[in-house]
Structures are given as structure tokens and as C-alpha cells.
Structure 1
Amino acid sequence: MLDKGWITNYISIGLVGVSYAFEGYAANAIRAAGLFALSGAVTNQLAIHMLFEKVPFLYGSGIILDRFESIREALKILIMEQFFTPEKIEAFVQSQERSIELAPIIEQTDFTPAYEALLKSVMESPMGGMIGMFGGESLIAKLKEPFLEKIKLSTIEISQSESFMNALNSHLHQGGAHLSGTIGEIVESRLAELTPQMIKEMLHGLMKEHLGWLVVWGGVFGGVIGILSSLLI
């Protein structure tokens, strides 16, 4: 099934083809609308592609992969500061619990800082100006909820892993401070398993689905500009 971007491209090309069935002003207006719409749609498709892939001679392409380390570090800081603080671990140790279910805590945790780290990386990239023309942060905001949901699921998997629970139980008697360091090492090691390719694939699916409208609106505005330009010629 074709996505919104390619449908927009084909409609634009179709307008160019249909224009040859007319003459005079109508032909020029339809042809200009089609060509400008195609230009706007293809340009925005390229912009989305450049977020994930390096394109030769195009500075700023591949920004998601370039900022991968900062995104992963933001996730680690968020996890440790939200529910693995020394105070929370100490309270847990004193309760003499030998098992813990972190899923409810994770579900209530605000992972917005991780999303904001991604948003900042995108908007500060050379692509930020282009995205800003078509809604900027409000357009990318459509990615927020799907992104946060995937981060929560990944964090829950970390908290429920056998290595995590074994380390938690075996180090309880050593006190909160030592346990906090141990948990930090485990979280860091698990996050280290997230490769740039994994992050790219996860975010690419979200971008492709939700930023498809960026391509559509590029075609729409391009078509309008094409019609207006034909009026001025």
C-alpha cells in the first residue's frame, strides 16, 4: 500500500500529464500546479529521508544517527533519576522486600525529557528550518505519544530481565548506595545493546507514518504557489 507521500507525488505527476489535454491559461495553470506540487513533496520526502540516512554532499543528513549517543545518554539519566534514586532504593531495602515490580512505576514515569532530546536534535539540525516551514515542533509532536510508549515498553523489559532482577536481589544487603551503582551499570549495559540501527528503525517507522503529512502539505502548498505563479506570468 502506497503511503501519503507517494500518493501526493503521483497526483502531482498526474496533474502535469492532464495539463497537456488543455490549452492556453488552463494548461499553464495545471502544469505549474503539478510541477510545483511535485517539487514541494519530493523536497520534503528527501528531508525526512535525510534525518536517518547520510546523503553524499548534503550537510546535516543522518542527524538521528549522529546524535544517537546523546539520545541514549538522556535515556540513562532519565531512568536513574526517576525511579532508581538512592532514596527510593534505600526505602526498598528497609522494607525487606526481595522482589519488586517496576512496571507500574515506569508507566507513571514522565519520559518527556527523552522525547525533548530527540526533538532538540531534529530542530537544531539543518533540517529544522525546513520542518519549521510546515508546522515545526507542532508537526513533530505527533510522534510524541508513540515514541514515549516505545520507550516505556523498552524500560519495562529492562526492569523485568533476569540479569536485572538477579543483581537486584543479590545486592540488596549491601545497601542502597552500592545497589544504585550496580543498577546503573546494568541499565547502562542494557542501553548499550541499543544500536544506532535499532534506534533508526524504531524512529523511522514513526516518522514515516506521522510525518507523511509533511510531504502532503509540501505538495499542497507547492501546487498553490504554482497556480499563483501562473497568474503572474
Structure 2
Amino acid sequence: MNKSVITNTLALILTLAGHFLSQPILFSIGLFALSGAVTNWLAIHMLFEKVPGLYGSGVIPARFEDFKLGIRQLMMEQFFTKENIDRFLSDDKGGATGIDLAPVIKKVDLNPAFDGLVEVIENSSFGGMLAMVGGSEALQPMREPFIEKMKISVVEITQTDDFHQNLRESLEGDTNIAHMQEKVSDIIEQRLNELTPQLVKEIIQTMIRKHLGWLVVWGGVFGGIIGFIAAITGTM
């Protein structure tokens, strides 16, 4: 059940009960509790909705662009800094040494590499001998074994410590890190541009509505305490 509705309803019941039962203390407690709860409820409502005549209401939708800029700055200045990217690349568990290139290599088309090898042989001193045994067509049965062996060899090379070290040193250069930051910034910017003021409002409401509801509850509680103190002070 909505905590705000329950708090306001209880405060209203106390106020009405105190009025109709001619109980000044009960009336004061209820009235102060109602004023505290309603004030806090209105303040929370004004964060998300524009209330006519109340300056500053609807601040979250109204400052939508500022929220987007703030999110982008938070991501770039706190998470994707040069130091954090450099630390990630240097981390053996998540950086360059943790990259498995085997799936990529297996999808690479190495037919041009074989064609280049055949061309080199044809243009070399072995070209004449190759022509005598059928030319480049005589090498075609070697195509698939060559490609398979090349992929295995390349995968083995990418799994060596020397390759990982060279890759890491290359990726850790300031120019590469700056380029990575630009790409990350572009991705974040693109995703943020897909957001609308209504969507941002719903996201923030979902995250904090549960906790903001307690502001109404405590507003009613402290309002009731103040009302009790005011009532007994006035009757003494």
C-alpha cells in the first residue's frame, strides 16, 4: 500500500476526530501531522510534475538536458578515465592478455593469403617448374590444408606471452586510449539521445519512489510530535 496515502489518511482522521470530539490535543496532533505529510508529499510530487503557479516544480523533466549531461560526465570522469582504461588493459584478468582472438581468427577468410602465396611462387624462379606440372591449378588441392594450418598457427601465435605483451603495449599508448575514450563517449551520447524526458522521469521515479515515501511518513510523525508539544504548551 502507498505509504503517503496511509499517512495522509491517518493524519486527516486524527484531525477530524479531534475537531468533532472537541479534543484540542488530538486536533493539534492531527493537523500538524497532516500539514507535515502533505507538505512533503507535495514536495516529492513537484520533483516530477509541473504544478501550475508553483515556481520550480517539475524540475526533473525541465532539467532533462542537464541530467543527460550529468550522466555523461559521470560515466566519462569517474569510470572511463585514462587511468581506468589503462588499468583495465594492464590487468591480466581483463585486459589485453585476457583477449581470446581464436573465434575471430577462425572466421577470417584466408583465401587471399593462399592466392598471394601462389602468385609469389608463379613470379619466382619456381614459376617455370610450376608451369610444367600444371601451373597454379596444381596447387589448388593445397588450399584447404594451407588455410587450416595457417589459422592454427595464428591462434597459437596470439596465445603467446610475447604477443600479449606487444598487444598490451600497443593498446596502452596515449593515442589509442584517447581514441577508445572518444568511442565510448560517442556510444554513451548515442544511448542518452534515445532517452526522452518522460523516460528519464519514470526511471528516477522507479528508483527513488520507495524511499521518498518515507519522507511523507516522517513528515507526518514529526508534525504530530510538534502538534502535541504545541497543544500541551498552549493548555498549560
TM-score range, shorter chain: 0.5 to 0.7
Q: Which amino acid aligns with 1:206?
A: M
- Deviation string 1:106-143 (CA, Å, 9 cap, x unpaired) is xxxxxxxxxxxxxxxxxxxxxxxxxxxxxxxxxxxxxx
Q: Which amino acid aligns with 2:69?
A: E
Which residue number corresponds to residue 30 of structure 1? 26
Which residue number corresponds to residue 227 of structure 2? 226
Residue 200 in 1 paired to residue 196 in 2?
Answer: no
Q: Which amino acid aligns with 2:210?
A: E
Give the number of the structure whose alpha-carbon radius of gyration is greater.
Answer: 2
Instruction: After TM superposition, give the deviation of residue 96 of structure 1 in Å.
Output: 9.7
- Deviation string 1:123-164 (CA, Å, 9 cap, x unpaired) is xxxxxxxxxxxxxxxxxxxxxxxxxxxxxxxxxxxxxxxxxx
1:154-173 to 2 correspondence within 5 Å?
A: none
Q: How many residues align?
A: 156
Would the alpha carbon gap of residues 196 and 219 (structure 1) be closer, same or farther in structure 2, given more than 3 Å must change? same
Would the alpha carbon gap of residues 177 and 37 (structure 1) be closer, same or farther in structure 2, given more than 3 Å must change? closer
Which residue number corresponds to residue 11 of structure 1? 10
Instruction: After TM superposition, give the deviation of residue 54 of structure 1 in Å.
Output: 1.1
Secondary structure of 1:211's counterpart equals helix
Which residue number corresponds to residue 192 of structure 2? 191
2:47 maps to which of 48, 51, 55: 51
Distance 2:49 2:194 in 1: 21
Would the alpha carbon gap of residues 81 and 219 (structure 1) be closer, same or farther in structure 2, given more than 3 Å must change? closer
Secondary structure of 2:38's counterpart equals helix
1:211-222 to 2 correspondence within 5 Å?
A: 211-222=212-223
Instruction: After TM superposition, give the deviation of residue 200 of structure 1 in Å.
Output: 0.9
Would the alpha carbon gap of residues 64 and 188 (structure 1) be closer, same or farther in structure 2, given more than 3 Å must change? same
Q: Please list every run of 5 or more consecutive structure 2 residues that lacks an aligned counterpart in the other structure.
A: 102-170
Would the alpha carbon gap of residues 82 and 207 (structure 1) be closer, same or farther in structure 2, given more than 3 Å must change? closer
1:77 maps to which of 63, 73, 78: 73
Secondary structure of 1:55's counterpart equals coil
Structure 2 length-normalised TM: 0.56
Instruction: After TM superposition, give the deviation of residue 204 of structure 1 in Å.
Output: 1.3
Would the alpha carbon gap of residues 206 and 85 (structure 1) be closer, same or farther in structure 2, given more than 3 Å must change? closer
Instruction: After TM superposition, give the deviation of residue 69 of structure 1 in Å.
Output: 2.0
Would the alpha carbon gap of residues 86 and 43 (structure 1) be closer, same or farther in structure 2, given more than 3 Å must change? closer
Which residue number corresponds to residue 64 of structure 1? 60
Instruction: After TM superposition, give the deviation of residue 85 of structure 1 in Å.
Output: 4.3
Q: Is the 8 A contact 1:33 1:224 kept in 2?
A: yes
Distance 2:11 2:205 in 1: 25
Distance 2:59 2:229 in 1: 35
Would the alpha carbon gap of residues 198 and 98 (structure 1) be closer, same or farther in structure 2, given more than 3 Å must change? farther
Instruction: After TM superposition, give the deviation of residue 74 of structure 1 in Å.
Output: 2.4
Structure 1 length-normalised TM: 0.56
Instruction: After TM superposition, give the deviation of residue 66 of structure 1 in Å.
Output: 2.8
Distance 1:75 1:216 in 2: 31
Instruction: After TM superposition, give the deviation of residue 194 of structure 1 in Å.
Output: 1.9
Which residue number corresponds to residue 151 of structure 1? none
Distance 1:78 1:185 in 2: 14
C-alpha RMSD over aligned residues: 3.0
